[in-house]
A = this chain, B = another copy of it.
Amino acid sequence: MAATAAESLARDLRRLVGDDGVLTGGQLTPYLVDATEPRGVRGRADALALPRNAEEVAAVVAYCYREQVAIVPRGGGTGFAGGAVADGGVLLALERLDRVLEMEPLRWRMRVEAGVTTRRVQQLARESGLRFPPDPGAPEQSQIGGNVATNAGGPHAFKYGVTGAFVMGLEAVVPPGEPLRLGGSTRKDVAGYDLLHLLVGSEGTLGVVTETTLRLIPAAEAAYPVLALLPDAEAAGLALEAALASGTVPAAVEYFDDLSWEIARRGFPAELPGGYVLICEADGSAAEAASGRDLLREALDEHALQLYAPTERAEIAALWRWREGVSFLVDAYRGGKLSEDIAVPLERLFDAVARTREIAARHGVECCSFGHGGDGNLHSCLLFDRGDEEARLRAEAAAQDLLGMAVELGGTISGEHGLGTLKNGWLRHQWSPAAVRLHEAVKRTFDPEGLMNPGKKLA
């Protein structure tokens, strides 16, 4: 965009969102990347708008739609797929929409604007004896609007479901700048087509989420993790099956292959040897969590070299704090990391773990994987020295093969991170022709000019 055009764009946006609501030039730098930065993904934008409310969001979308300018909605910028990285146009950051509009503890729900952080949502629920179960990483940075737009998951999705399962209501702005209100405070609603869940996970390509009403659940009184150290992948697979047959529903079932555990165990709150690892958790009332823990111990013990089942609150908190940081430990291991998010039917999990290794070996890249084992959701990491461009390209090639492998195993190219720009073109390998056709038709129906987060989530 020519300098004068960019200036006139910024001037127009200032009229819509205030003088302090528009960033340009060097001010944009922190907003041009997300967690794909180590892969060399860096965007560009003509301006960034910081609307203060849904009306201003609508005004910006209407303006951009009229002027044929691309709109790239952006939450906390913690995504792993480049979904919030712009390639020109206007970045629309939701961070000033950070009001908690209603907290209704007796009714198990809250209504918040899109820019409220995930941590704040979790804390507000907790202060009322309630719980917002989705726990994707980086809760301090990530915003609930982004969680909704990506249908974010996390370890506790196994028992409780992903973000979409907790969205009762949603307000968004859709092209050409109209407010869209779906659902609300009613727990059941089959009146119209489920447009709400069409917006959930749409990665900003259909509209901009401005507000959401979240369903909460009573907090569990206790939650006890049980970590099983296993000799190999086969034993880990058997332990996973045993955990599912234990008679309790684990709240989470996380796995680590031997290298990811080797990397991550250095920060682990207890001294444990190497191996494959499964971490299950039992929660509920104090009695239920304790009996669930006993069932899980018994189920896992048959296959494990060693169990670690802390019961002290501080030890348990340390374990989950460690879990939140695993991704950073793996990042730091070689300096460069390319993390793929795939999911397969859960009985294929350790097939996929083994195939991840084969693929990496074929491309001459080191790799490890860990993730949400109960959901068959692997974070397969290709590791290389930061700055080694040649190795990064080998890792990128391996990443493409990982996607093909996921499809081959009857799984998905994305379990919880979305397609962003990185997985463009892959959906057509996973989906049937009619599904791809309808995916594209839905996009055109919502966004006929193709200006909402263009270049993302392409089939």
Contacts and interface: CB of A to CB of B under 8 A. Distances in A.
Contacts of A143: none
Interface stretch (A41-49, A157-165, A228-236): A157-165
Nearest to A403: B191
A22 interface: no
Copies of the polypeptide in the assembly: 2
Interface string A161-194: 1101100000000100011111011111111111
A52 interface: no
A419 B161 CA distance: 28
Contacts of A439: 192-193, 195
Interface in A400-459: 410-419, 423, 426-427, 430-436, 438-439, 441-443, 445-446, 457, 459
Interface in A377-405: 377
A13 B446 CA distance: 37
A413 B151 CA distance: 27
Contact of A442 (B165, B195, B372, B414): B195
Contacts of A249: 217-218
A24 interface: no
Given A201-B193, A218-B247, A446-B438, A432 B180 contact: yes
Contacts of A377: 187-188
Nearest to A409: B186
Interface stretch (A89-97, A116-124, A281-289, A313-321): A281-289
Contacts of A413: 191
Interface residues of A, number: 90
A427 B150 CA distance: 28
Interface stretch (A68-76, A271-279, A344-352, A359-367): A344-352
A74 to B, nearest CB: 18
A358 to B, nearest CB: 21
Contacts of A288: 284-285, 287-288, 291
Given A158-B187, A190-B416, A193-B442, 14 more contacts: A106-B241, A107-B346, A174-B438, A178-B433, A178-B434, A180-B435, A180-B438, A182-B435, A186-B345, A188-B412, A192-B436, A192-B439, A197-B198, A442-B445
